[in-house]
Chain A
Amino acid sequence: MTTYSDFTVGDPAADRAAPDGPIETRWERRRFGVKLVNPANKRKMHVIVVGTGLAGGSASATLAELGYRVSSFCYQDSPRRAHSIAAQGGINAAKNYRNDGDSVYRLFYDTVKGGDFRARESNVHRLAEISRQIIDQCVAQGVPFAREYGGLLDNRSFGGAQVSRTFYARGQTGQQLLLGAYQALERQVDAGGVTMYPRHEMLELIVVDGHARGIVARDLVTGETRSHLADAVVLASGGYGNVFFLSTNAKGCNVTASWRAHRKGALFANPCFTQIHPTCIPVSGDHQSKLTLMSESLRNDGRVWVPARKGDDRDPNLIPEAERDYFLERQYPAFGNLVPRDIASRAAKNVCDEGRGVGPGGLGVFLDFAEVIGRLGRPAVEAKYGNLFQMYQRITGEDPYQVPMRIYPAVHYTMGGLWVDYDLQSTIPGLFVVGEANFSDHGANRLGASALMQGLADGYFVLPSTIGDYLATSGHDPVDPDHPAVLAAEQDVAHRIDTLLSIKGTRTVDSFHRELGHLMWEHCGMERTEAGLRKALDRIPELRKEFWENVLVPGTGVELNQSLERAGRVGDFFELAELMCLDALHRNESCGGHFRAESQTPDGEAARDDENFSYAAAWEFTGRGEAPVLHKEDLAFEYVAPTQRSYK
């Protein structure tokens, strides 16, 4: 057995599906290049989709519209509850309806730059192209976007861009887009194209002769585990932010589907690229179970500040202008309060580290709306942000119309995920990964309003085209339900469940999860150092060992057992956590959301090291606690020359 951090470097990861030639026509050429499936044959082909958020819901609906047989799984009681529903701010699209100089190329450029030059140009360009179709599609579904008096669509600005290209539905854009996809999905359920499995959790991937051919899923109500076989499997199971315990993710969000696939051979790319969102409601106590985001759109009109003087604990309304430090406007005059998320988060952390933070524990900064309320009046502000203000007041008991909000950064999104090629296919043939679960489009930092864009681009437009190429060329026979690979997968699941239930230790699942999360936030959060990461890499295996010896899971496996569900997920988070720390340790540069204290410019900005790290790090699993193998995918920038990002 080798030490975990003594990883080896294997063959480069190669994206064989990527077309070359002029970037503007790559997607069109790839679409022309894919083999088509005869409509009569589509009916015979069965695709499993895990997850019903924007990516999974839109993929299931669209695949069924095309004629495939689809089985769709979600752990929630209804597909409508997937966590895409909580996205507040909006969705980007290069429509240029504002005539303010936007274009597909500018959205492409902003996204490559915003990702700090760690994403693939081809993928990002495709995303920017498709962005326009997404808005058309959602409007056709009856999504009630915000409109102007003339009846045309309204736009707002978002961080990392100087054009207004974000479409929105008050502060509930994710909800409205998800309901559009959900309704399209339910339409296919009614038509017989989709079989829906709510309250089902994928616990294992079935790989037969090197191809993904199904999953083992547990019915969360009866506890029954059984295999579901298909011609291809699509993972749309979201991100892994809950490894930190406290995040803006829903409580159920987990890495299990992705991690099970990783253990079966799918490479996991850039796990350390996590996004810390600058505008969340600060932690109020030890009981805290999750963090709540305040949409980035608030930074359009809210001004971020802290007292200029350390220890100034006066009522914020009594602190005169001259004694306030609008630190984002001061440090980044060109973008001001609208700098990208990674930059805004770190700036907030820095002023709090200086002792100028506000609220309990000094872990907060003000987000102040007094200026805009004075300028536009309260009704205008209410129309724009009413529900967000209400949400803030409900949680904190403070009225943001009267006193500035207090905000602090929190884990929000994970850019890393399963490695996929241009076709969104993982390194296991027949396993496709869409939405936040893959690593493809956001590089080291995601821009606001781009997650909804990517989820829907993948699900409505990219996957339904590219999966046909695989299905047309792979020519599978049905898998025998008694195939050794199927039985082995079922047994693995049964064994893991039995183990968790039989330990009967003394510590609850949540207490382990909290401790792991605290460790990750401390050492693999907003700022990472070699010493801290090494400490985490020492501590995580110890804690994991204790978990498998001392966890207490009440109840049985043949009933609704929420402790058991959480235990399985936390078991996988432990393994992921170790890989995240290793990835963060090996990437001895700062880029986007990954800030290594050892690699900064003289004025404290992230210093990238393109010479040594201009690649996506795709990791191969070799065993729990065993040193993984690193496969590098070199990134080439033919169109947007990498520069030091500047928002000053």
Chain B
Amino acid sequence: MKLHLKVWRQRDADDRGHMATYDVDDASPDMSFLELLDVLNEKLTVEGEEPVAFDHDCREGICGACSMVIDGQPHGPEKATTTCQLHMRHFSDGDTITVEPFRAGAFPVVKDLVVDRGAFDRIIAAGGYVSAPTGSAPDAHAVPVPKDQADRAFTAAACIGCGACVAACPNGSGSLFLGAKITHLGEMPQGQPERNSRVLAMVDEHDAAGFGGCTNTGECAVACPKEIPLDVISQLNRDYLAARRARRRSA
């Protein structure tokens, strides 16, 4: 396959950046999108140009490192698919493909297609955990968990923290990411003692990090490669209101 690529190039955080055009003449339909970029980078390197920087690691759709917008969509056109699992058979010979980094106020560009998603770690650090110091656990069967609750928790916990939801959102909101963790831990009995304090601290951190608010556009759930359902945001809102009420009562 012959492909024309328009790729965002930006030297560092301070650079204005620009789109650069490259051709790849020997793409194969069995390649992943990242393997296409590998081929491009080998070519650029040999030609004395700087290869395109992009984040990637596991290349099997689970680490959440890849962070590019392909033809205007985070992770590209295939539903429920990360960039590393997107294969060139979904494109046609002669296509022009546009590749940009995930863009959001809370995700500053580091270089080319690489962005800084450290804000997600800070949201988790603010409260996205159960306080269970090593060694303090009762027997695993001490607390049964109804299967439907465990399943819903799992569905939410499948989030890979890639940030596609933020890149897709017109407000740059991290609500789907945040709601996924709230729903995961909120469904588990182990998550109950800290349920209120968790949601308040995580929402505060989310807002402080520069993510926008949710206006129920729903783009996030469409872009999510792990199909985290939109209702985790309803859960987030509900838990947040309940926690605010509880705080007022105790104040």
Residues of A with Cβ closer than 8 Å to B? 58, 61-62, 65, 76-81, 83, 85-86, 95, 97, 133, 135-142, 144-153, 169-170, 172, 175-176, 179, 182-184, 186-187, 189-190, 196, 198, 221, 248, 250-252, 284-285, 287-290, 292-293, 390-391, 394-395, 397, 460-461, 464, 506, 508, 510-511, 552, 554-555, 559-560, 562-563
Take A139-B140, A510-B38, A510-B42 as given contacts and tell me if A395 and B134 are in contact as well, using a CB distance cutoff of 8 Å. Answer: no
Q: Which of A133, A170, A289, A293 contacts B34 (CB 8 A)?
A: A289
Rounded to whole Å, the gap between the CB of A556 and the closest CB of chain B is: 10
Q: Which of A78, A150, A183, A511 contacts B128 (CB 8 A)?
A: A183
Stretch at the interface among B142-150, B216-224, B238-246: B142-150
Residue of B nearest to A283 (CB): B30
Chain B 185-241 interface residues, beta-carbon cutoff 8 Å to A: 185, 187-188, 190-191
In angstroms, Cα B88 to Cα A395, docked, is 10
Residues of A within 8 A of B65 (CB): 76-77, 81
Residue of B nearest to A61 (CB): B134
In angstroms, Cα B28 to Cα A285, docked, is 8
Chain B 86-105 interface residues, beta-carbon cutoff 8 Å to A: 87, 89
Rounded to whole Å, the gap between the CB of A180 and the closest CB of chain B is: 8
| B145 close to A151 (CB less than 8 A) | yes
| A151 close to B161 (CB less than 8 A) | no
Take A289-B34, A397-B87, A464-B134 as given contacts and tell me if A147 and B145 are in contact as well, using a CB distance cutoff of 8 Å. Answer: yes
Q: Does B184 contact A (CB under 8 A)?
A: yes
In angstroms, Cα B130 to Cα A71, docked, is 22
Residues of B within 8 A of A395 (CB): 32, 85, 87
Q: 27 pairs across A/B with beta carbons < 8 Å?
A: A76-B65, A78-B64, A78-B118, A83-B57, A83-B63, A136-B139, A138-B140, A140-B136, A140-B138, A142-B184, A144-B153, A144-B184, A151-B150, A170-B154, A175-B62, A182-B124, A184-B134, A187-B125, A187-B131, A198-B118, A221-B111, A288-B35, A289-B34, A391-B60, A508-B46, A511-B42, A563-B51
| A391 close to B85 (CB less than 8 A) | yes
CB-based A-B contact count at 8 angstroms: 221
Give the 10 A-B CB pairs with smallest separation, nearest first. Answer: A151-B144, A140-B137, A183-B129, A140-B132, A136-B137, A186-B125, A190-B125, A144-B154, A144-B153, A284-B30
Q: Name which of B64, B136, B140, B191 has the most chain A CB atoms within 10 A of its CB.
A: B140
Residues of B within 8 A of A146 (CB): 150, 154
Residues of B within 8 A of A83 (CB): 57-58, 63
Residues of B within 8 A of A287 (CB): 28, 30-31, 35, 38-39
Residues of A within 8 A of B50 (CB): 554-555
| B61 close to A391 (CB less than 8 A) | yes
Take A139-B190, A510-B38 as given contacts and tell me if A86 and B138 are in contact as well, using a CB distance cutoff of 8 Å. Answer: no
| A86 close to B147 (CB less than 8 A) | no
Extra A-B contacts (17), CB below 8 Å, given A77-B114, A285-B31 = A58-B134, A81-B65, A86-B63, A140-B132, A140-B136, A141-B132, A142-B185, A144-B154, A144-B188, A147-B144, A186-B128, A198-B118, A287-B35, A292-B59, A390-B80, A394-B78, A555-B50
| A85 close to B58 (CB less than 8 A) | yes
Q: Which of B39, B62, B117 contacts A77 (CB 8 A)?
A: B117
Residues of A within 8 A of B85 (CB): 391, 394-395
Rounded to whole Å, the gap between the CB of B228 and the closest CB of chain A is: 13
| B56 close to A251 (CB less than 8 A) | yes
Take A172-B158, A461-B134 as given contacts and tell me if A562 and B118 are in contact as well, using a CB distance cutoff of 8 Å. Answer: no
Q: Does B12 contact A (CB under 8 A)?
A: yes
In angstroms, Cα B82 to Cα A350, docked, is 35
| A290 close to B87 (CB less than 8 A) | no
| A133 close to B63 (CB less than 8 A) | no
Residue of B nearest to A191 (CB): B125
| B121 close to A153 (CB less than 8 A) | no
| A77 close to B157 (CB less than 8 A) | no
Residues of B with Cβ closer than 8 Å to A? 11-12, 28, 30-32, 34-35, 38-39, 42, 45-46, 48-51, 53, 55-65, 78, 80-81, 85, 87, 89, 110-111, 114, 116-118, 120-121, 124-126, 128-141, 143-147, 150-151, 153-154, 157-158, 160-161, 184-185, 187-188, 190-191
Residues of A within 8 A of B56 (CB): 251
Q: Name which of A83, A152, A251, A252 has the most chain B CB atoms within 10 A of its CB.
A: A251
In angstroms, Cα B184 to Cα A241, docked, is 33
Residues of B within 8 A of A170 (CB): 154
| A179 close to B132 (CB less than 8 A) | no
In angstroms, Cα B130 to Cα A176, docked, is 14
Residues of A within 8 A of B28 (CB): 284-285, 287
Rounded to whole Å, the gap between the CB of B85 and the closest CB of chain A is: 5
In angstroms, Cα B86 to Cα A93, docked, is 36
Residues of B within 8 A of A552 (CB): 45-46
In angstroms, Cα B135 to Cα A58, docked, is 12
Rounded to whole Å, the gap between the CB of B75 and the closest CB of chain A is: 12
Q: Which of B32, B114, B147 contacts A289 (CB 8 A)?
A: B32
In angstroms, Cα B32 to Cα A290, docked, is 10
| A86 close to B58 (CB less than 8 A) | yes
| A142 close to B150 (CB less than 8 A) | no
Residues of A within 8 A of B59 (CB): 250-251, 289-290, 292
| A95 close to B140 (CB less than 8 A) | yes
Residues of B within 8 A of A394 (CB): 61, 78, 81, 85, 87
| A251 close to B137 (CB less than 8 A) | no
| A190 close to B126 (CB less than 8 A) | yes
Take A76-B57, A391-B60 as given contacts and tell me if A186 and B121 are in contact as well, using a CB distance cutoff of 8 Å. Answer: yes
Residue of B nearest to A284 (CB): B30
Residues of A within 8 A of B188 (CB): 142, 144
| A77 close to B118 (CB less than 8 A) | yes
| B62 close to A85 (CB less than 8 A) | yes
Rounded to whole Å, the gap between the CB of A464 and the closest CB of chain B is: 7
Q: Which of A97, A182, A252, A397 contacts B57 (CB 8 A)?
A: A252
In angstroms, Cα B158 to Cα A146, docked, is 13
Rounded to whole Å, the gap between the CB of A546 and the closest CB of chain B is: 16
Take A58-B134, A86-B63, A184-B129 as given contacts and tell me if A285 and B58 are in contact as well, using a CB distance cutoff of 8 Å. Answer: no
| A554 close to B51 (CB less than 8 A) | yes
Residues of A within 8 A of B184 (CB): 142, 144
Take A144-B154, A555-B50 as given contacts and tell me if A81 and B31 are in contact as well, using a CB distance cutoff of 8 Å. Answer: no
Q: Which of A152, A187, A221, A250 contacts B141 (CB 8 A)?
A: A152
In angstroms, Cα B191 to Cα A86, docked, is 25
In angstroms, Cα B140 to Cα A172, docked, is 19
| A141 close to B190 (CB less than 8 A) | yes
Residues of A within 8 A of B185 (CB): 142
